[in-house]
Chains A and B, each alone.
Chain A
Amino acid sequence: QVQLQESGPGLVKPSETLSLTCAVSGYSISSGYYWGWIRQPPGKGLEWIGSIYHSGSTYYNPSLKSRVTISVDTSKNQFSLKLSSVTAADTAVYYCARYSSSANFDYWGQGTLVTVSS
């Protein structure tokens, strides 16, 4: 069974960089698929942030592209998100998920709430 688990600080100060990691178990990232980050502000809908392949190839949401970096560490079977220059608008639950060959997100982490506040 594929499992994903997000980890990282739950509180980030404005203008700083948000950093999260997604640990994958039950499947080797090196075997394929894209792996992505999605966020959900409190009470709002889902927003795709970006995705990465095991080779390191990335796709980012154009609205966030200038601030986002997603990287992969196949030796640890995990991938990471960095979002720079955060503001209160970046407060959200951040999910990591697998993007399947059928173009959907079939496995999700439980999500982690990140609050941007001084």
Chain B
Amino acid sequence: EIVMTQSPATLSVSPGERATLSCRASQSVSSNLAWYQQKPGQAPRLLIYGASTRATGIPARFSGSGSGTEFTLTISSLQSEDFAVYYCQLGYTFGQGTKLEIK
């Protein structure tokens, strides 16, 4: 069973700054990694799939990268609406999430 580990658990960043979120797989995996954003009381929203492809309607400030066991979600210039919890997912396994909070 593949385990997806996200870090950090909580990330404090100021609006306008860059945020970098990490997701590590317990073994080398395909690049079918996805990232989701979840706001309180809402369902998760697909941001990135295939490790680096933005889903429909996702702003260009969101980007994904990585391969093998290490994957990264970068938000280039944080907007107020970006503060949320982010999950990575591979197959049927989700990471435990990173909470992105305002510094």
Contact = CB atoms under 8 A, between A and B. Distances in A.
Chain A's interface size range is 20 to 34
Contacts of B1: 62
Interface residues of B, number: 24
Contacts of B53: 102
B60 interface: no
Contacts of A59: 92
A100 B43 contact: no
Interface of A: 36, 45-48, 51, 59, 61-62, 95, 97, 100, 102-106, 108-111
A105 B37 CA distance: 12
B94 A104 contact: no
A19 B96 CA distance: 26
B59 interface: no
A51 B96 CA distance: 20
Given A103-B32, A103-B34, A104-B32, A45 B87 contact: yes
A111 B43 contact: yes
10 nearest CB pairs, A to B:
A104-B34, A108-B43, A103-B32, A48-B92, A46-B94, A104-B49, A102-B49, A45-B96, A45-B97, A106-B46
Interface string B31-57: 010101000001111100110010100
A46 B44 contact: yes
Nearest to A4: B43
Interface string B81-103: 00000010111111111000000
